[in-house]
Structure 1
């Protein structure tokens, strides 16, 4: 069976982090989101993967190449204009030779058990989950275990059951998509709704481990979740009087200077310089080539590659983008607030 991953979108709601990379390449646990999806497919025995790419596609293609480093075979197809998920899937048609195949959004994380249930379904199927904020997603109208329709982002949802966007489909979906695209209907959910009028589409209930990156703060939730499975390993240099507790992973050529305290789960990439007298607390991911100057504390945060954080700083519940330079005595403020986000 082939897995088609839709990875062409920019991710407007994840700006400014997506100004330099597509949303599927945003790091959690020091790996791109889409890498976890590829690994889940491989664990389920799927080694033929088609990646539909578009926005900043070079970042994806340079990182994964032909997929051999992940023991999979990756082919790329291009969606030049990101006008919808249905249109994106249509670009992959010539590479889908088998009757059945999987379709997955590249900015989601799902466990292998849920994917296995999807693969074993005897019908065309969709993984569904309960959501506390269903208005962010396609809300699924289900009769028993049969999908009747999907309502995209309703202002007043009738149920908390939402679509994960992860499907097991048959090749007939391409014929439906071609007709709908002619009418300007470019979403995959349009095709699913049309198909559901005549064919049985089964709702496969996930086990609650599905994660979706919609807004920047979702990255912190996903990061904390993936770090729960972190295996500790030390490849860098640890100097005197450094205390490390829990699962801590430190990359090659990284130096942890004296009197630092690190409590996992924490992952620190390659070529970093930490400390002295730095405190790093759980659910923190620090990328490659990062410098953290003395007397700084970081907790529950994502620090991307090539960042410098000045001395006497306090970073909490934050996502720090690639290449940021933060002066000394910087502090993030945590509290209630409101933000207006453009939907798109």
Structure 2
């Protein structure tokens, strides 16, 4: 089965980190978002991938060719102009229109689920998870047997709290393409884009039975706060628990991920910190943060922060002699 991964978006909610790199290559728990997606799918035996590229797409293609050569069969389709997720799937139709079924995984979605169970399902499937703020997501209204009754993108008055997480199995390819084409014919845009949610709703209205499937975990990597939260959760694995012996001049509080060739001196690192390769950290305290590769962090206290690649953050050392009843803000 082919996996279609749209990664054309500009990642506006992650500015400034997406000015120079696409959202799907933003690092989290030691590797880019896209690498988490590909590695998880490869563990389940998926080998054929179609990547729909757009904003800074050449960087995504370069990353895949450099890191997954001879490991997956990759096809690349460029989406220009970028007119939404349904349009991205339409642009790539020549890569899958003869397939019996396809898997669609959005390029900013890290989800934990049973792909074996998903593939065994006889119908098309939309993966979902309950959320507390349904107005912020595409929402599925689900029937008693798990069938999807209605889909709506970011409803003002939601009738369900089942969020669409961005993983779909599509069985009826001809109807799927007809449903996307119907959006174009009606010029049915949402926020000036053709949404995959609306195409799937067209399928349901045409009589297609689509079932829902709850996922175990879903990590929304679309904005800074949720990216840091996902980083903390994904770091909670055995391989991120013990770096202390490698950096005797510093205190390492797990879980942390530290890339190759890093130099760490006189610092307190962790918990929930991911550091890219070839970075220098000196006389600093860092917690709950993501530090890019080739960065230099000196004399600072950082928390809940994201520092991009090739960045330098330098503070100052202070020698103070403070008398009674004083207040100093540095």
For the aligned pair, the TM-score class normalised by the smaller chain equals 0.7 to 0.9
Q: Which residue of 1 aligns with 2:202?
A: 194
**Alpha-carbon deviation of 1:303?**
0.6
Q: Which of these residues, 307, 311, 315, is aligned with residue 320 of structure 1?
A: 307
Could you say if the C-alpha distance between residues 266 and 67 of structure 1 is closer, same or farther in structure 2, counting changes exceeding 3 Å? closer
Tell me the CA shift for residue 181 of structure 1. Answer: 2.1
| 1:68 Cα deviation from its structure 2 partner | 3.9
Change (3 A) 1:282 1:69: farther
The 8 Å contact of residues 54 and 82 in structure 1, kept in 2 or not, is answered as yes
Separation of aligned partners in 2, 1:52 and 1:105 = 10
| Cα separation, 2, equivalents of 1:289 and 1:230 | 23
* Conserved? CA contact 1:129–1:161, under 8 Å: yes
Residue-by-residue CA offset, 1:179-223 (whole Å, 9 max, x unaligned): 32233332111111110111101111222x111112111111111
Aligned to 1:338: none
Unpaired stretches in structure 1, ≥5 consecutive residues: 233-245, 331-344
State the partner residue of 2:136.
136
Corresponding position: 1:227 with 2:235: yes
Shift of 1:249: 9.4
Aligned residue number for residue 326 of structure 2? none
SS of structure 2 residue aligned to 1:193 = helix
Cα distance in 2 for residues equivalent to 1:66 and 1:75: 14
Q: 1:171 aligns with which of 164, 170, 173?
A: 173
Q: Choose 100-109 or 137-146, whichever is displaced more.
A: 137-146
| Consecutive unaligned residues in structure 2, runs of 5 or more | 189-193, 318-330
State the Cα distance separating 1:79 from its structure 2 match. Answer: 0.5
Taking only aligned residues, the RMSD between alpha carbons, in angstroms, comes to: 2.0
Taking structure 2 as the reference length, the TM-score comes to 0.88
1:307 is matched with 295
Contact 1:22–1:57 (CA under 8 A) maintained in structure 2: yes
Report how far residue 67 of structure 1 moved: 6.4
Whole-Å Cα distance in 2 between the matches of residues 167 and 287 of structure 1? 32
Q: What is the alpha-carbon distance in structure 1 between the residues aligned to residue 70 and residue 227 of structure 2?
A: 23
**Inter-partner Cα distance in structure 2 for 1:288 and 1:117:** 37
Counterpart CA distance in 2 for 1:137 and 1:282 is 30
Aligned length: 307
Task: Classify the secondary structure of the residue corresponding to 1:59.
Answer: helix
Q: TM-score, normalised by structure 1?
A: 0.84
Give the equivalent residue in structure 2 for 1:12. 12
**Deviation for aligned residue 1:118:** 2.0
Q: Which has the larger radius of gyration?
A: 2
SS of residue paired to 1:63 = helix
Helix, strand or coil at the partner of 1:228 = coil
| Displacement of 1:24 | 0.8
SS at match of 2:260: coil
Which structure exhibits the higher relative contact order, with contacts defined as CA atoms closer than 8 Å and separated by 6 or more residues? 2
Query: Which position in structure 2 is the counterpart of 1:280?
Result: 269
Call closer, same or farther: CA 1:109–1:214 in 2, change over 3 Å: same
SS in 2 for 1:274: strand
Q: Secondary structure at the match of 1:3?
A: strand
In the aligned structure 2, how far is the partner of 1:90 from the partner of 1:157? Answer: 28
